[in-house]
Amino acid sequence: KQEVTQIPAALSVPEGENLVLNCSFTDSAIYNLQWFRQDPGKGLTSLLLIQSSQREQTSGRLNASLDKSSGRSTLYIAASQPGDSATYLCAVSSMNNNAGNMLTFGGGTRLMVKP
Amino acid sequence: NAGVTQTPKFQVLKTGQSMTLQCAQDMNHEYMSWYRQDPGMGLRLIHYSVGAGITDQGEVPNGYNVSRSTTEDFPLRLLSAAPSQTSVYFCASRSGAEQYFGPGTRLTVT
């Protein structure tokens, strides 16, 4: 059974810092990995999607990498801003879970960026 | 495009009551799904559908029913609510690999 772990569970940084959020998964037979942002009391917003054949994806100040063989992904946020404060969720679509029709989520990293 | 919409936003039920959580999408996506989010458990898949008339169970399907009569709508039914179903429910649709989530329904069962 696929398991996804995110470390750290919570992170507080001063504005302007570069930071890295970590995601690990136990089954490397994945179709893709997706990073989401969730604001308090809101739904999930997709940030970056990495297909299993890709190594990284970039969007603005965000860069996500994928090392499928070691079961790891990182989300790099450059020059953090208070508006980046949210919970960041990592999710994988696994070949062995409902033929990829199910996302397995990590518990999330709660990020606070202080002005 | 409104994207994925869910109603109601909040609901309180008594144990044993039934209700339907509504989900609609206007992006013509074939794939739709329902997740529940609980503290410390992350999001878990309840049911999903790969097209009108086709549904299947996810990780935690017990106590929930779904149907998919149209591409746009994917309602989730609780036949006899239990306190263990207190949660935040998210509906999602998918185009290719990327998932789009609705704003959620916060359900409390007393």
Q: What pLDDT score does A83 carry?
A: 97
- Residues of B within 8 A of A51 (CB-CB) are 97
Averages of pLDDT over runs of 10 residues in chain B (110 residues) are 91 97 96 92 91 93 96 96 97 89 96
- Residue A1 above 90 pLDDT? no
The pair of structure tokens assigned to A33 is: 């990995």
CB contact under 8 A, B104 and A108: no
CB contact under 8 A, A93 and B98: no
Q: What pLDDT score does B77 carry?
A: 98
Q: Distance between CA A87 and CA A95 in Å, rounded?
A: 26
Smallest Cβ distance to A46: which of B40, B42, B98? B98
pLDDT in tens, A12-41: 999 999 999 999 999 999 999 999 999 988
The pair of structure tokens assigned to B102 is: 């609705």
Burial of B10 (0-12, 13-18, 19+ CB in 10 A): exposed
Cβ neighbours of B80 (radius 10 Å): 11
Q: Which residue in chain B is spatially nearest to A48 when comparing CA positions?
A: B98
**Percent of all residues in chain A with a pLDDT value above 70, rounded to a whole number:** 97
Q: What pLDDT score does A99 carry?
A: 67
Cα angle: B87, vertex A85, A57; to 5 degrees: 95
Distance from CA of A39 to the nearest CA of B (A): 10
- Residues of B within 8 A of A32 (CB-CB) are 97
Q: Which residue in chain B is spatially nearest to A47 when comparing CA positions?
A: B98
Q: What pLDDT score does B2 carry?
A: 77
CB contact under 8 A, A4 and B98: no
Q: Is A94 on the interface with B (CB under 8 A)?
A: no
CB contact under 8 A, A91 and B58: no
Radius of gyration (Cα) for chain B, nearest Å?
A: 13
pLDDT in tens, A65-90: 999 999 999 999 999 999 999 999 99
